[in-house]
Copies of this chain bind each other. A is one copy, B any other.
Amino acid sequence: MGEVPESHPRYASLKARKQLTDAASAGLLADSALIAHGRGEAFDYLIGEVTCDTAREAIGEVAARLQSADNPVISVNGNTVALAGPQMIACAAALSCPIEVNIYYRTPERMRVLLSALDTQRQEAAALYPELADKIAKVEVLGANPDGRIPNLDGPRANCHTDGILSADVVLVPLEDGDRCEALIAMGKTVCVVDLNPLSRTARMASVTIVDELTRCIPILLTILMNETKLPNHEWDNEQNLQNAIKVMLRNLE
Contacts and interface: CB of A to CB of B under 8 A. Distances in A.
A32 B31 CA distance: 13
Contacts of A34: 32, 34-35, 38
B42 A32 contact: no
Interface residues of A, number: 26
Nearest to A24: B31
Interface stretch (A67-75, A181-189, A217-225, A245-253): A245-253
Residue of A31, A199, A246 most packed against chain B (CB within 10 A): A31
Q: How many copies does the complex hold?
A: 2
Given A250-B250, A253-B250, A254-B250, A38 B42 contact: yes
A38 B39 CA distance: 4
A244 interface: no
A149 interface: no
A41 interface: yes
14 contacts: A1-B31, A20-B35, A21-B32, A24-B31, A35-B37, A36-B38, A37-B38, A38-B41, A38-B42, A39-B39, A40-B42, A45-B197, A45-B199, A253-B253
